[in-house]
Structure 1
Amino acid sequence: MSDAEAAQRDLAAINRIAAVPKILEVITRTTGLRFAAVARVTDTRWTACAVRDEVAFGLAPGGELELRTTICDEIRQHRQPVVFGHASQHPEFADHHTPRLYGLESYISVPIHRANGEFFGTLCAIDPLPSAVETPETLQMMELFAELIGTQLETDEKHAWSEAALHTALDVAKARERFIHAVGDDLKEPIQALVMDAYLIRTTPGLADDIRARVVGMETNLWHMASVVGGINDFAHDRLANGVPLVRTPAAEVAIELQRVLSQVVSAHPERALVTAARVERDVDCDVERLGQLLVNLANNVLRHVAPDATVSIDVSTTDEALVFNVQAPGLVLSGNELDSVSGPLTGRGIDTRPPRSWDFFIAGEIARAHAGRIDAATVASDTRLSFVMPLHAAVVAETPASGHLAEV
């Protein structure tokens, strides 16, 4: 493969990572540097793979710079971040050829490595004006984003390899299982790190309101990603498809775990009006961690489909025979076959065409089935209430009913 073909391949790989444009936007708004890019850096070429340019630097995706004129070439060799906020007054970079050639005062660049440690390129941001970019928090944010991009690159390559290697239906199934497991495990650590970093950024004193609002949005998406990754790992280990181990769990323990989950939901949506309650008075045969995942799924589904100013009520309680989750909000409506996704993807909607804000109960439905429970929607005072009901003491449902829906309690 020629250098030009390899550069196009790497450009396409970065473009397949949906989060990259948002990452570059967050970097420019958080650091104040008006140009940010993901660059592929080899021993012969510097190629821009993704760009956010608010300063008319003139470089577009696919564009190249002379390798030897870039600091990224030095980073390729020593594999360490480089950051300065005022080049002309910096003891090391005042006479450096790169700031002088490109008229830079502010610069931050961190290496991007694939998951196997191979150097890919850099995540960088620049500006012709000085800035206060030399802070540990800024560097840590850049390194976390670079790690996420590197992980996604590795995942993309694993996927390409698996597709090329599949020849039979059995091979496809086995490779998909390995791939999903690798993706789930690879994403856990960077997502957790990003959640912590987003919280630190959001709680920084003096943070501008527009940046704080964007970080809140990041936190919401990260919590959703964490929930989805948990479901991916479950499927990779067949823990949902073949049933989860149900353990007799004391009422207090169930209440504490579900209250913790509710607190996470509230924390992830500080701008929403949420009323939550967890009153668990009886022991439950369950996998309490999976029930927490189901509760988050129901809450997120509702929050995506009601007005931002609507008060959402989330109630957890027990009766003499059942554990019940109720999620309700003014204006909540489920029409048509939204609950069909309890037993599979929404009918007639492919992965690439399904609206991003559609209902999706697939993972929640699998957890419900494993607990011999059901997910229902009922009209209450002209609004819709979404409910999950499971028996306090029940065996795992051995087989999916012929209709594909959850077994009735």
Structure 2
Amino acid sequence: MIQKLFFDNVVDAARHITDMLSSMLKVNTIFVASNDGKTNHILKAFNRDQILVEEGIQLPLQDTYCGLVSRKVVYISHTLTHPYTCELPVTANTGDHSFIGFPVLLQNGESFGTVCALHTPGYIFSKSEVKTMHSMAIFLSYVVELENRLEQQIEINDDLIQDHQQVTVKLDDLKQQKEEVDLQLQYKSDTMAILSHEIRNPLNGVISMVELLEPTPLNPEQRSHLDIIRKSSHTLMEMLDNVLDFSKMEAGEMQVDMELFDLPALVEESTYLFAAKAMERNIEIILEIEENIPILYGDTRKIRQILINLISNAVKFTQKGDVHIQAQVLPESNSDEVSVKFSVTDTGIGIDDQQLDQLFERYVQVHNKQGQYKGTGLGLLICRQLVELMGGQIIVSSIKGKGSTFAFILTLPRHEFSVPTFRQPILQGKRMLVVDDNDKALQWVSRLAEDWDIQLSQTDRIEEMLRRLEKGQSFDVIMLDHELVATEKQTVIRQQIEQLQQMYGIPVILLTSVGMTMDPTLRTWSKSVVSKPVRRSYLMNALIFALTDTKSNTTPSS
């Protein structure tokens, strides 16, 4: 007894084929067509992103791609330029694509139709895709034979079973390949965990030694350096955790933790980790944090990781000039949420426009052609994923040879806590002269002075400062870049400054870089030393001390 066919007609079979192929192949368009030698009829079609083929359409066979598929497989990489397809009306309507078509042939040699696919121009179909589509074309021919020749039902059923077995074997192969990929991913994950463990052991030793050194007698400069070692060690430990979290992000398992935090303190701490490195490279780090940023909720660990990565890159790729870190509240902020823009701008080597799109791809290092800059090529990818995970966006702009700006914007919930004020009555109305040859550093100090109601005068030359003092201009405090008076050639200038400072009793605050060795004679006539990048709270404390202290001329370094 002949059993009932699984498919009631050819159209149902075509639907099954397009469904199967659309789930197995990732191409844009798959369709099944029949023809009578003159007219081509689209039985079923699947379009993923762009609608190229519509079901039910009938066109003259000679005006279609299917007309090229008669006895063998036809593959065309660019329909817009191929001589057989460039002038067809269908090409004018759909544009340039890659095309592959398989004939559906009956046992008597006649052509029933085609199984075809369209994808992006130049796309090369893999062996597995070709085999799969070939199998589906054969499968359709069997279904047609079943409808046309019921007397050959048993024979055709055997063929269908054989085809089904082929598909099953293919699915088994795909399943095995997936298992192998999963094993490889697991191996990489285990390797990363082992490496993390091996790095943690010596790092824990460093942290333990720091903890043992902290209670011992240390001078202020040593204690400052030890504090940087401690923070750097803890930051590296967090970075190890974040590298392990990368796999969670890929799997969609990473969560955002919300906690109260002080944004200015977070930015300052992240920046200060690179102060010593910047000094070694003879570049300046400049902080500019908007005043009155409220207390916010956010994932501090992720924000810190993004900042550290961006600042590290800026310092790495900058040979001269400065790195400028900013944090500002955007105007569109409301009563419940605050949009904050973090920016890291450098004067480094910059990036070609053609390479900007590659920056956030996995394992891409656009500056590592000669192996000069080391890295994993994962840092910016992790930054982008973390920013997007927190609902933000990351932006990059760059000019080759002039520098780059990396910025990210986060919208964070606001807390009702009031923002602690930095305004102090003792500073209001005071006259301060700042001498620094870095325009951005002057701008930041000028911004702080304005916030604190200090009357500020500024210059980038020592000679101008001396001229003002000799002319009798009065100042309550002078802030002086240490490098302008640090060399032996400037001994005479230092003596002039000291004489004028003693004559008028003006306290001097020196600006220096973290870890810089200072001439002891400079400390004898300076009230305080503030390290760059200038932190708001450190500078305020130094100013208050300089304006109120009457017992000594020196104070510990900030």
TM-score (ref. length: structure 1): 0.42
Query: Rg larger in 1 or in 2?
Result: 2
**Larger RCO of the pair (alpha carbons < 8 Å, separation 6+):** 1
TM-score (ref. length: structure 2): 0.32
